[in-house]
Amino acid sequence: MTTQLMWILVVAAVVVLLLVVFGVLLLRRPKAPRGGYTGTRDLDDLPDLDGAEVVEDSPVATLERPESARGRLQRLRGRLAKSNTVLGKGLLMLLSRERIDQDTWDEIEDTLLMADLGTDASLELVENLKKRVRVTGTKDPAELKALLREEMLALVDPTLDRSVRTEAVPGKPAVVLVVGVNGVGKTTTVGKLARVLVAEDKDVLLGGADTFRAAAADQLETWGARVGVPTVRSEQEGADPASVAYDAVTAGIEQEADVVLVDTAGRLQNKAGLMDQLGKVKRVIEKAAAVDEVLLVIDATTGQNGMAQAKVFAEAVDITGIVLTKLDGTAKGGIVVAIQRGLGVPVKLIGLGEGPDDLAPFNAEQFVDAIID
Ligand SMILES: Nc1nc2c(ncn2[C@@H]2O[C@H](COP(=O)(O)OP(=O)(O)OP(=O)(O)O)[C@@H](O)[C@H]2O)c(=O)[nH]1
Ligand SMILES: [Mg+2]
């Protein structure tokens, strides 16, 4: 009888132990994508990238755990500072001269122009600074630096709303359309943004509306697969981008996704064709859900040339935000101001490298501090 009781206790203990182990495993399991992975690639074949944390013990696949967007600009500020040292240090050096005469002011203006700040903004900054230096009569480097910081900040404008609208309404996901000239970093930005949203625990779905070449959708799918985000795409090269975008958004509605990010092509034979296509993509999406955000991606290294191209896009669709990429590779940080003024749209995100988490929310104060500190 006692042996029997002992056996029952042992069996009961084993069952409880198994249940606990099973429960722990279930809790540790990462959130699987709602729509499932629609791609054909083997997840093990995906390239390893630095800095990305890998979720171990995942029964689904080896998914990466992206970094949250908070504090990213702080982490990446070194890259900004490095490329913009010439601007910040140059200006401070000129301001700390024994005598600041007209020649010095001209040099200050040239430095600003070289940093792609644009003529109007450069003149404005010089005029304002000149006035304040004269009124205060200060020679103290710390005070001069504070004046420069204030004037630069006023140009970058800390009052603009820079939030990326990714809040779903009941029954409809938020839709973000990403546009821009070829090679500026659209697909990379969509991939990086998907990771930011995954880190916020959002269900994301990607739409590969760049049907210009099949490799474009493969590239997008790879970004998504690394964080368990599905991609809606067409296998057919040259398929109608508007219909792929529509399919992505309707799939997003069916799968109750929080956000649908749509990547588009930047290469088209002519300006009229591009305008028509982008306008159509947006209109067709709107048959299913509202487009919450149209992000125009601009390569910071292309300077004024990029500005001209950006204007063509702004004519085709109403842009709601700018993503300035490759700011890690240029000393022309002033382009932030030039673009915001030229297009009347805030810079919302900046790309500071090729790494998967090298996209940061733009913050005016941190940006100016990174340049002049
Ligand atoms: N250094 C740096 N490189 C970047 C950044 N963003 C994108 N890139 C690189 O720019 C190149 C082009 O990026 P894509 O995302 O393919 O550009 P795209 O606009 O989608 O190009 P198309 O699809 O051909 O129109 C890639 O090599 C990216 O790694 C950035 O912020 N910094
Ligand atoms: Mg692309």
Mutational test site, ligand 1, from 213, 354, 357, 359, max ligand atoms within 8 Å of CB: 354
Per residue in 119-153, pLDDT tens?
999 999 999 999 999 999 888 888 998 999 999 99
User: For all residues of the chain together, what is the average pLDDT?
Assistant: 85
Atom of ligand 1 nearest to the CA of 216: 23
What are the structure tokens assigned to 185, written together?
Answer: 């970093």
CA of 3 to the centre of ligand 1 (A): 71
Chain centroid to Cα 246, Å, comes to 23
Q: Strand 204-209 relative to strand 293-299: parallel, antiparallel, unpaired? A: unpaired
pLDDT at 21: 65
Distances from the Cα of 76 to the Cα of 28, 69, 321, 324, 366, angstroms = 30, 11, 21, 14, 11
For residue 17, give the amino acid letter. Answer: L
Please tell me whether 187 is known to bind a ligand.
yes
Q: Is 273 marked within a binding site?
A: no
* 134 phi/psi in degrees, rounded to 5: -65, -50
DSSP annotation string for 96-119: TSSS--HHHHHHHHHHHHHTT--H
Task: Of 40-49, 153-162, 245-254, give the lowest mean pLDDT range.
Answer: 40-49
Task: State the pLDDT at residue 59.
Answer: 43
* Domains of the chain, earliest start first: 74-156 (1.20.120.140), 174-372 (3.40.50.300)
Q: What is the pLDDT of residue 27?
A: 52
Locate 285 and state its tokens: 């999406």
Band of pLDDT at residue 106, cut at 50, 70 and 90: very high
Provide the Cα torsion 133, 137, 139, 140; round to 10°: -90
Ligand 2 centre distance from Cα of residue 224 (Å) = 14
User: What single DSSP character describes residue 17?
Assistant: H
60: pLDDT strictly greater than 80: no
Radius of gyration of the chain (CA): 25
182: tokens are 């070829």
Length of the chain: 373
- Does residue 325 have a known ligand-binding role? yes
- Closest ligand 1 atom to residue 350 Cα is 31
The pTM of the full predicted model, rounded to 2 decimals, is 0.83
Predicted pLDDT at 48 = 37
